[in-house]
Structure 1
Amino acid sequence: MNLKYIGKDKEEKKVIDLGDNVKIGDNNFTIIGGPCSVESRSQIEKIASYLSEKNIKILRGGAFKPRTSPYSFQGLGFEGLKYLKECGEKYNMKIVSEILDPRDVEDAIDYVDIIQIGSRNMQNYTLLKEVGKVNKPVMLKRGMTATIEEWLMAAEYIALEGNDNIILCERGIRTFDNYTRNTLDLTVVPILKALTKLPIIIDPSHGTGVRRLVAPMSKASAAVEADGIMVEVHFSPEEALSDGHQSIDFRAFDELIEETNRVFDCISGIK
């Protein structure tokens, strides 16, 4: 595997510095939280307020939503990005959100701190090249059927354009089993840490698609020394406009934070 950029100097691990002392990959365990979709100003405001109280520094939320069905909620677009930015400024939080179209990148960078490339766009090379030209960190999700090599080569497309501020995100892959939405592949953490200098975030919400499995897989992510997790949180998951079945409520998120940090502290103490 010819990794000219993301494999270079892999012993010196990449730290993504978002400013205001918010870093990913700095020997800490970053917890990113927020709803699958931004549904309204009041909805994202309520969630951001809660997350801020829990000292969560990075807010996730989908403004552009690539959905399997064209009849499903597609997101609020730039209106949703505006709501996210408002919350980020009010609660001093960094924003991560997905961009689907290369033509939207230039305008979107004013609203987000991390550009997310979703699973369906992992091999959208035009989009990868475009985000590689901007001075913003990029979270690259693994394609649902992608091999590790294909995933890393997609990251190389971004780095080749000059932007190596890349966060890899494992969000589960499609296998023969259909009990869970995807199969969360935690073996990628030690593999990627051996191959690249980039930080690795785990998405246990999409990785399982099952609400009760999010907390156990979050703890497992800390145990295998991932650099953090990205979890879907909603005050009323049953009423969420997208992926409510894999979102957890505030009470469950409280427990997840406490238990996952305990595992991380334990692993850190062993090292």
Structure 2
Amino acid sequence: MIVVMRSNCSDENIEHVLTFLKNQGLTGHPSVGAERTIIGVLGSVGPSGAPGGLGGINPTLGENLESLPGVESVLRVSKPYKLASREFHPEDTIVDVPTACVSEGVVHIGGNAVIMMAGPCTVETEKQLMTTAEAVRKEGAVILRGGAFKPSTSPYGFRGLGEDGLKLLAKARATFGMAVITEVMTPTDVPLVCEYADILQIGTRNMQNYMLLDAVGRTQKPVVLKRGMSATFEEWLLAAEYVLSQGNPNVILCERGIRTFEKATRNTMDISAFPLIERLSHLPIISDPSQGTGRRDLVGPMSLASIAAGTDALLIEVHPNPDEALKDGAQSLTLDQFQSLMPEAQAVARAVGRTFITG
């Protein structure tokens, strides 16, 4: 349910509505737009308008809300995800990430700008990480990606350096001024990863790990939520709802390809996700064409297509020597390939009326 306030309503009117909702066992979430304020109503509301679990105390909730001062109308929301929906939050969400390498000291994910996040899939050695970080920063990447904890389909695959990898990422951040995005895999790891990371990444296998989603939701760190490899848009947005419902508004969706019958690519990159998510949700959305295709020869074309379709950032895997990478070398760009991609990405951004922030 959404309460639409009149354009001339007062702060007292809004507070009155919030108090009324609280007394009904519901929670109101105000969203202030350019023209008017709307209040999203969270809680179990039955078909008659009565709060669920309250024995139908107020069977005319909608009518009573509409009678309050300053209220223009009351609308029902059909989406099962509320906080993530465009209906609840008409204005785009912009997620700010402190980044020393840009003049403002912060990059904004969402809106008209596009940014580059790049680095190795997995932190292997100090030399590998620092070489990659220096190269991608030189070309304009503003956020450094790198896995310290890595899930692996096989229990015998490389699973990351753990805290030692986090320390190396922190060293690279101090050296090159880039913010750090890295994956967190369990609720117990969240405090540790928060000490080192600027953005917490939830991988595809953990998209529906609800205890982990609750844990990152209790932080105020930006969270990149990757789409599950077999997830629908609704399931993906409901996963985002878990984070939002814990009080963390800084959620960034990430399209990274889905599993289909096709075997020529590791995953099938769903370019339709970008314009469709923009219609369904106010949250920013970014693209991971490395995981999305599993092939370095396709990373460049899919990066350009993602920008044209509306991505707010690219998340690219880069390695000094991909053929010797301990994990996912086949989808990692060489340093030269990344250098070639950046001017092309900036040109496409300009062509569709967007800016590309590099520093």
Give the TM-score of the pair, scaled to structure 1.
Answer: 0.97
Give the Cα separation in 2 of the matches to 1:25 and 1:221: 14
- Measure how far apart 1:235 and its partner are: 1.0
Q: Does 1:18 align with 2:97?
A: yes
- Measure how far apart 1:9 and its partner are: 4.8
- Measure how far apart 1:6 and its partner are: 1.6
Q: Aligned pair count?
A: 269
Post-superposition Cα deviations, 1:62-82, rounded to whole Å, max 9, x if no partner, equal: 110100001110100111011
Post-superposition Cα deviations, 1:144-171, rounded to whole Å, max 9, x if no partner, equal: 0001100000000000000020000000
CA contact (8 A) 2:183 2:202 kept: yes
Give the Cα separation in 2 of the matches to 1:51 and 1:187: 28
Structure 1: segments with no counterpart, 5+ residues: none
Percent of residue pairs bearing the same amino acid type: 48
Q: Does 1:5 align with 2:83?
A: yes
- Measure how far apart 1:10 and its partner are: 3.7
Give the Cα separation in 1 of the matches to 2:138 and 2:257: 29
Residue in 2 that maps onto 1:50: 135
Post-superposition Cα deviations, 1:73-126, rounded to whole Å, max 9, x if no partner, equal: 010011101100110111110000001010010121010000000000000000
Q: Does 1:121 align with 2:199?
A: no
Residue in 2 that maps onto 1:245: 330
Give the Cα separation in 2 of the matches to 1:116 and 1:21: 19
Give the Cα separation in 2 of the matches to 1:259 and 1:55: 12
Greater length-normalized contact order (CA 8 Å, ≥ 6 residues apart): 1
Residue in 1 that maps onto 2:221: 136
- Measure how far apart 1:3 and its partner are: 2.4
Residue in 2 that maps onto 1:111: 196
CA contact (8 A) 2:117 2:143 kept: yes
Tell me the amino acid that sits aligned with residue 292 of structure 2. Answer: G
Q: Does 1:200 align with 2:270?
A: no
**1:67-78 equivalences in 2 (<5 Å):** 67-78=152-163
Residue in 1 that maps onto 2:144: 59
Tell me the amino acid that sits aligned with residue 83 of structure 2. Answer: Y
CA contact (8 A) 2:116 2:140 kept: no
Residue in 1 that maps onto 2:233: 148
CA contact (8 A) 1:6 1:164 kept: no
Give the Cα separation in 1 of the matches to 2:216 and 2:106: 24
Deviates more, 1:49-58 or 1:131-140: 49-58
- Measure how far apart 1:55 and its partner are: 2.3
**1:89-238 equivalences in 2 (<5 Å):** 89-238=174-323
Give the Cα separation in 2 of the matches to 1:10 and 1:254: 38
CA contact (8 A) 2:83 2:89 kept: no
Tell me the amino acid that sits aligned with residue 90 of structure 2. Answer: E
After TM superposition, the runs of 4+ consecutive aligned structure 1 residues lying more than 4 A away are none
CA contact (8 A) 2:82 2:88 kept: no
SS in 1 for 2:240: helix
- When you count strand as a share of all residues, which structure comes out higher? 2
SS in 2 for 1:213: helix
Tell me the amino acid that sits aligned with residue 230 of structure 2. Answer: T
Give the Cα separation in 2 of the matches to 1:11 and 1:159: 16
Deviates more, 1:44-53 or 1:120-129: 44-53
Give the Cα separation in 1 of the matches to 2:233 and 2:239: 10
Residue in 2 that maps onto 1:266: 351
Structure (1 or 2) with the larger CA radius of gyration: 2
